[in-house]
Amino acid sequence: MTLSALLESEQTGPIFRPIFKVQNGRLTAIRLRMGEVFKEHKSPVPAMVLVMEGAVLYEQLGEGIARPLWALEYTEIPPDTIHQVTAESDSYCILIQ
Domains in the chain, CATH or no CATH each: 3-96 (2.60.120.10)
Average pLDDT taken over every residue of the chain: 93
**pTM for the full predicted model:** 0.89
- The single-letter code of the amino acid at 95 is L
Instruction: Please name the residues in contact with 85: beta carbons below 8 A apart, sequence gap of 6 or more.
Output: 30, 32, 37, 38, 49, 56, 57, 58, 59, 93
Q: What is the pLDDT of residue 5?
A: 78
Query: pLDDT tens digits, residue range 26-39?
Result: 999 999 999 999 99
pLDDT value, residue 53 = 96
Mean pLDDT for the stretch of residues 69-90: 97
- Write out pLDDT tens, residues 36-62: 999 999 989 999 999 999 999 999 998
**Residue 88: pLDDT above 90?**
yes
Residues forming beta bridges with residue 25, ordered by sequence position: 22
Has residue 7 got a pLDDT over 80?
A: no
